[in-house]
Structure 1
Amino acid sequence: MSRPFLFLSARPETEAVGPEYEAVRRAMGLDAARLEHLRLDVESLDAVRLDDYAGIVVGGSPFNVTTPAANKSAMQQRIETDLARLAEWAVEGDRHVLFTCYGIGVLTRVLGGEVGTLHGEDAAAVEVTLSAAGRDDRLAGALPARFDALVGHKEATAVLPQEAVLLGGSAGCPVQLYRVGEHVYATQFHPEVSTADFIARARVYRHHGYFPAHELTAVERRLGEASVTEPQRLLRRFAELAA
């Protein structure tokens, strides 16, 4: 029997967790029996045996790795410790792991890169352009050379880790996608969501500083007018390669 996949969520907002899992599951083309879910805000990474999974996907979070340590909650500190352990395990064994959004920040720091707030992006659709390495990559190459993706983040990779291969970037955020080794990937954009998913998520996080709360209607309109069809292919291809 094929090994299942694991989705790790890092969001404490329960109303956003279920929809995120479903978005990832649909994009990967898996049924619920093949995509297990561990909420790191509730349980430790020790609750699972990582080698049991064909591949692992790390979701997003309103947490920021650039938040001063003294201001991080005990929950955030615990989650970041678990994700750092995952990153070390993934890189050491070159395992099939895909870090998204918040996860890219943890991975970047583990690898000695720098994360900063200069390249944050408002909740919107942006054009991502693949590098030459991205166009030739087994995973990223499943996407067009240019495609629109949904973003919304306060921090981003400022200095690419030395061992990382840049696969794609946008005008406002030079590091949107990179690879480490052959099988470890990280995206700043959200590969799992449709525009409808992202609008629903914007409603949950309207008071989290991604945009002024009073501009929610304008954000919904802007997102609703966007055509974002390609990024989900990244997750489908990830599942195919890892399986």
Structure 2
Amino acid sequence: MLQHDPSDPLLLMGDWLTEAGATVDVRRLFAGEELPADLTGYDALISLGGEMGAYDDDVAPWLPATKAMLAAAVAQRTPTLAICLGSQLLAVATGGAVTRGEDGPEIGAYLTAKRDAAEADPLFDALPMTPDVMHYHYDVVSSLPPGAVLLLSSTGYPNQAWRIGPAAWALQFHIEPSADDLRAWGRTEGREAVGRLGPVLDQAEDAMGTVWRDFVARFVRFAAQPADEPHLLGHRLPIHGS
């Protein structure tokens, strides 16, 4: 698991991964910990969020290697989950584009809506039609990578969740923080707990608890599927031993 920012660790998702039977190797890249040389020995790759942008290689000098690893994961069909900044890094690594959101940031509780392709996706099929999410981002994936499949959209920015290849998923939103975690991020920028950071955020947290815990469990099961069994998407993935 790649952590880019001290303020955005696994949070709730850490418990969800453990409950699902995963063992997590956290690389705190912001603290100088190195990326693995390659993905040999790993069943999956997770890339979290952070305050930097996808092109800020001068601010976060580990980003070029991170983008290379994400591109390699897609090429090797290693199950990958990329969240917020992680989704933007995955987009850039595979031929998409990231820009500043023209209509301003998305911060707080929002609704997304499933696209038709989600019904054939092993992680997104079981989601409700309009799942609640939590946002905290200024940049957006403005162009999906070639061949990417759009899975969730919203009335604000359309590219909310997508898949590239058979086993790499990107989420523009956060599923790992609690409502209080998101409000704490807001306080660092002087944002008050009103509007989308008010009571509606607590309601979103309640709605998200089961939905995204189950999503993470499906990701873990997907990653753990033996390499000699056909995948739900009709591909045989090179799942590495943990």
- Place the TM-score, normalised by the shorter chain, in its bin: 0.7 to 0.9
Q: Which residue of 1 aligns with 2:140?
A: 156
Q: 1:21 aligns with which of 1, 6, 10?
A: 10
Q: Which residue of 2 aligns with 1:234?
A: 215
Separation in 1 of the partners of 2:68 and 2:55?
Answer: 18
SS at match of 2:112: strand
Residues 1:40 and 2:34 aligned together: no
Q: Which residues in structure 2 correspond to 1:176-195 (within 5 Å)?
A: 176-195=160-179
Q: Which residue of 1 aligns with 2:192?
A: 216
Q: Which residue of 2 aligns with 1:116?
A: 99
TM-superposed CA distance for 1:128, in Å, is 0.9
Q: Which residue of 2 aligns with 1:63?
A: 52
Separation in 2 of the partners of 1:142 and 1:38?
Answer: 30
Separation in 2 of the partners of 1:28 and 1:59?
Answer: 14
Separation in 1 of the partners of 2:221 and 2:186?
Answer: 30
Q: Which amino acid aligns with 1:9?
A: Q
Task: Report which of the two has the higher share of helix.
Answer: 1
Q: Which amino acid aligns with 1:26?
A: D
Q: Which residue of 2 aligns with 1:4?
A: none
User: Is this contact kept in 1: 2:39–2:73, CA < 8 A?
Assistant: no
SS at match of 1:52: coil
TM-superposed CA distance for 1:27, in Å, is 2.5
Separation in 2 of the partners of 1:182 and 1:83?
Answer: 20
User: Is this contact kept in 2: 1:25–1:31, CA < 8 A?
Assistant: no
Q: Which residue of 2 aligns with 1:106?
A: 89
Separation in 1 of the partners of 2:39 and 2:103?
Answer: 32
User: Is this contact kept in 1: 2:83–2:171, CA < 8 A?
Assistant: yes
Task: Report which of the two has the higher share of strand.
Answer: 1
Structure 1 portions without partners, runs of 5+:
1-6, 208-212
RMSD value, Cα: 2.3
Tell me the TM-score normalised to structure 1 length: 0.80
Separation in 1 of the partners of 2:121 and 2:20?
Answer: 27
> Residue 38 and residue 119 in structure 1: after superposition, are their counterparts in 2 closer, same or farther (change >3 A)?
farther
> Residue 135 and residue 179 in structure 1: after superposition, are their counterparts in 2 closer, same or farther (change >3 A)?
same
Q: Which residue of 1 aligns with 2:152?
A: 168
Deviates more, 1:54-63 or 1:110-119: 110-119
> Residue 135 and residue 145 in structure 1: after superposition, are their counterparts in 2 closer, same or farther (change >3 A)?
farther
Deviates more, 1:128-137 or 1:229-238: 229-238
User: Is this contact kept in 1: 2:70–2:90, CA < 8 A?
Assistant: yes
TM-superposed CA distance for 1:124, in Å, is 1.2
User: Is this contact kept in 1: 2:161–2:169, CA < 8 A?
Assistant: yes
Q: Which amino acid aligns with 1:235?
A: V
TM-superposed CA distance for 1:135, in Å, is 2.0
Structure 2 portions without partners, runs of 5+:
225-242
Size of the alignment, in residue pairs?
218
Q: Which residue of 2 aligns with 1:9?
A: 3
Residues 1:97 and 2:77 aligned together: no
Separation in 2 of the partners of 1:38 and 1:216?
Answer: 32
Q: Which amino acid aligns with 2:3?
A: S
Separation in 1 of the partners of 2:117 and 2:147?
Answer: 14
**CA-to-partner distance for each residue in 1:90-130, whole Å, 9 max, x for gaps?**
11101111111001111111222111122653321111111
Separation in 2 of the partners of 1:36 and 1:238?
Answer: 16
User: Is this contact kept in 1: 2:22–2:220, CA < 8 A?
Assistant: no
TM-superposed CA distance for 1:42, in Å, is 2.1
